[in-house]
Amino acid sequence: MQATRAARLARLGPEESFATPRVIKEQIRRREKEIGMLNDALRALEAIKPLVSGDPSSKAVLRIQNSQDAPDQGESTGIRDAIRVFAASTPRFGPAELLEHLHRCNFTFRGDPRAAIRDALYIMSRPGKELKIVKRGRGGKPNSYSRKVPRQH
């Protein structure tokens, strides 16, 4: 197969051995698509570089502190990060204490604060996650939560 192709190319003149404009356009389109994917990958790497280097001014670290300028670009408000910080410093807490703490820290909520806390606590207290329910609330009373302590092997 290779020998016949080489023989055929040898018989062609120089102008016939060049790629057609359609083939060139297709190659350019593929290369532009590859460049776009590489640019996306570079942007993702640049975004995580501060996390790897431990830069305290990175947006990920600012999300934990809930800086007022971090969420302005459509990023999440970081309620789970704020709950993690609060849970690390508080042995046992309920949603009311958490809400009060977040208001004292000027945490910015995009919607209903109680619903946001409820949803975040629900997700974070699922089996295998980082919070545990210490006492289940009964009769309309809220649950009490604490941080799961990692097991030492």
- pLDDT by residue for the chain (153 residues), tens only, comes to 556 666 666 665 555 557 788 989 999 999 999 998 888 888 877 776 666 655 555 555 555 554 444 444 444 448 898 898 888 888 899 999 999 999 888 888 888 999 999 999 999 998 888 899 999 989 889 999 998 876 655
Around 90, how many Cα atoms within 13 Å sit in the side-chain half-sphere?
Answer: 18
Helix (H) or strand (E) run with residue 135 in it: strand 131-135
pLDDT of 105 reads 86
Query: What is the sign of the dihedral through the CA atoms of 128, 131, 135 and 136?
Result: negative
Radius of gyration of the chain (CA): 28
Distance of CA 105 to the CA centre of its chain: 23
Domain boundaries, the chain: 2-53, 79-147
Note the pLDDT of residue 69.
43
> What does the pLDDT read at residue 130?
87
Contact of 57 with 64, CB cutoff 8 Å: no
Per-residue pLDDT, 109: 85
Q: How far, in Å, CA of 114 to CA of 118, rounded?
A: 6
